[in-house]
A and B are shown apart, each in its own frame.
Chain A
Amino acid sequence: MKRLFTLTAVAVALGCGCAQAQYTDGTIKIGVMNDMSGTYSDLSGQGSVVAARMAVEDFGAAAKGMKVEIVGADHQNKPDVGSNVVRTWIDVDKVDAIVDVPTSSVALAVNEIVRDKNKVFLVSGAAASDLTGPKCTPNTIHWTYDTWALANGTGKAIVKTGGDTWFFLTADYAFGHALERDTAAVVEKNGGKVIGKVRHPFPGTDFSSFLLQAQASKAKIIGLANAGSDTINSIKQASEFGITQSGQNLAALLAFITDVHALGLKTAQGLIMTEAWYWDLNDANREFAKKFAPQVKGVHPTMVHAGVYSAVMHYLKAVEALKSDGDGKAVVAKMKEMPTDDKLFGKGEVRADGRKIHPMYLFEVKKPAESKAPWDYYKLRATIPADEAFRPMAEGGCPLVKS
């Protein structure tokens, strides 16, 4: 009798197990790691955590019986801090997916760790195109933008309008080097010339010395291969030293709407930048911004925030279809197999090298008179179609792509 009871109990338990989804720890845990306190905290920061939560809500995880938990952490733009957080998250806290991670040096370090531990890495904030190039892995998807797309957008547009001599002011770490390399390639391919470059420590405060060198070079375009507060300060100080007044133009190779907000339209007007998403492009984006802003002290979402939303949404869809989240490679393969479709980026796809494909947009910052409301900063100059916006897969050098 006792044996029959035990056997029945085991059978029922096994039966129940097969019908349910097997999530590690019973929960799908998503870790949003970025700069919460420094140079990049406004363009990512707490806003990315909010965006992830909004994605979980819109996905309807609770109604589907899926337990999803979002945790956030600050990597302080330091690869060692970021690596420790990710290791602890995966080993101790059973986090299944790491999302966002701006600061390419941190992203490249996390890229390796996530591959070794077979989890999922969805990069929204970082830029280095190496993540889908030589450093690509079957566990990583590069979601929102990369240095190649920026160079292709802003760099090409500026060279074609006559800005054919360039001087680079570069942040001295992985991201700056990648952006400088990709933009220099685009400039030279389109008939321009790079006449000089200078590397500034990251993060920097005073760029007057470097801007002076840029001024002395007499290049028509000073390319700013940096981001966040570095770009803001470079632009402010360039205006102070009369660089823009004396005929040289600044190319903000990576700029976000939060940078324009900090600069003010008077200083930022006329800047040309390439972005993947803007809150005022269509009704769906505006609605998202309306829900997002009150949760982040009125700050409107940047393309990084939108990318986090889109990536988490697609991840949850893939995990739901697979009914499991433990095997990172399998989840990413599923994400590449399923076409993407969300309210912020519309329809798109994830390529074999881990590159998410969608159109990129060339924006120009409005003059103060043209702006009708706070955060109404951009006018659309051009749309770069999805098939032209990103580096062709064959040219990337990604080992996953069979030539």
Chain B
Amino acid sequence: MFELFGISSQALFGQLLIGLINGSFYALLSLGLAVIFGMLNIINFAHGAQYMLGAFAAYFLLQYAGLGYWWAIVLAPIVVGITGIIIERLFLQWLYKLDHLYGLLLTFGLALIFEGTFRNFFGSSGLPYSVPPALQGGQNLGFMFLPNYRGWVVVFSLAVCLTTWFVIERTKLGSYLRAATENPALVRAFGINVPRMITLTYGFGVALAALAGVMAAPIYNVSPQMGANLIIVVFAVVVIGGMGSIMGAIVTGFGLGLIEGLTKVFFPEASNTVIFIIMAIVLLIRPAGLFGRSA
């Protein structure tokens, strides 16, 4: 095995795999954000809170309904997606014609309300949620011990991301969606219910966040703060990838996870800031983001 800058290749591959796992969370979350921004032009600051709601929904399903992880993966996104639809119908639909700032402020306020309420009732140390029995244990890969659950996270996120990309970019439904964003009046003239499509799209983006929350529940603490810490990084990911680009969000999510993983090996103290440094550089060179299309 070779050595790179004093780190053995074994340790390096281990860190890259960890980076990939973190990257899958970034990818899932930034996908939801990119879908919402690309389709609705709303900067959804409540995304982190909705991720947290997904994790809490999984916790409640287990505590009060006895429904385990596999039920939660299906039910929690649906439940949180419905709350997303309610938010869209009640608040967001009035803001589409206005400046982006209003959507940002509204969703930011909602995030603070959600997080404050949950923190009031549940404290901040977090609640336990265990890894489902089918995914416990791990594989010794030689260069590291990979917990089965983390391997599942990478595989499942990749599957969800690619399916979403495929639906939006390659199917008829996706083409309606993309057309409705570009020219809603014309699409309505064709008889397609544009407001309903937009509502369902927001619900879908929120459901993606909740799905990420369910997947995070067993490995990160189910705590009211879990979204607040992550959302800033995810925004940076979306900005680097290009605000409306689906593939950009996915690729950047995984890529930045890898880069962050490498930073943790060589210069751990900077691991929190490296993504923002990259964001600053990318914005200077390509303001629309790496995969974005300039308006």
Contacts and interface: CB of A to CB of B under 8 A. Distances in A.
B119 interface: yes
B269 A206 contact: no
B86 to A, nearest CB: 26
Nearest to B122: A297
Interface string A201-214: 10101101110110
A228 B21 CA distance: 24
Nearest to A198: B268
B147 A213 contact: no
Contacts of B261: 209
A41 B124 contact: yes
Interface stretch (B11-19, B32-40, B56-64): B11-19
Nearest to A262: B125
B259 interface: no
A258 B145 contact: no
B125 A216 contact: no
Contacts of B128: 262-264, 267
B127 interface: yes
Contact of B268 (A199, A228, A261, A262): A199
Contacts of A267: 128
Interface in A19-55: 37-39, 41-42, 45
A208 B127 contact: no
Contacts of A199: 268-269
Contacts of A42: 123-125
A269 interface: no
Given A172-B269, A212-B14, A38 B225 contact: yes
B264 A209 contact: yes
A203 B229 contact: yes
Interface in B205-244: 219-221, 223, 225-226, 229-230
Interface in A204-249: 205-206, 208-210, 212-213, 215-216, 228-229, 232-233, 236-237, 240-242, 246
B138 A201 contact: no
B144 interface: yes
Contacts, number: 98
Contacts of B193: none
B147 A212 contact: no
Given A38-B225, A228-B125, A232-B126, A209 B269 contact: no
B131 interface: yes
B10 interface: yes
A311 B127 CA distance: 31
Sort chain A's interface into a size bin.
Answer: 35 or more
Interface in B132-155: 138, 144-145, 147, 149-150
Contacts of A37: 119, 124, 225
A172 B269 CA distance: 7
Interface in A241-283: 241-242, 246, 258-259, 261-264, 267
A299 interface: yes
A305 interface: no
A237 B272 CA distance: 19
Given A229-B221, A232-B126, A209 B229 contact: no
Interface of B: 8, 10-11, 14-15, 18-19, 21-22, 119, 123-128, 131, 138, 144-145, 147, 149-150, 219-221, 223, 225-226, 229-230, 261, 264-265, 268-269, 271-272
Given A37-B225, A262-B128, 5 more contacts: A42-B123, A210-B268, A262-B221, A264-B128, A297-B123
29 contacts: A37-B124, A37-B225, A39-B124, A41-B119, A45-B124, A201-B268, A201-B272, A208-B21, A208-B22, A209-B265, A209-B271, A212-B15, A212-B18, A213-B11, A213-B265, A216-B8, A216-B11, A228-B125, A229-B124, A229-B125, A229-B221, A232-B125, A232-B126, A233-B220, A240-B219, A241-B138, A242-B147, A264-B128, A297-B123
Interface of A: 37-39, 41-42, 45, 172, 198-201, 203, 205-206, 208-210, 212-213, 215-216, 228-229, 232-233, 236-237, 240-242, 246, 258-259, 261-264, 267, 297, 299
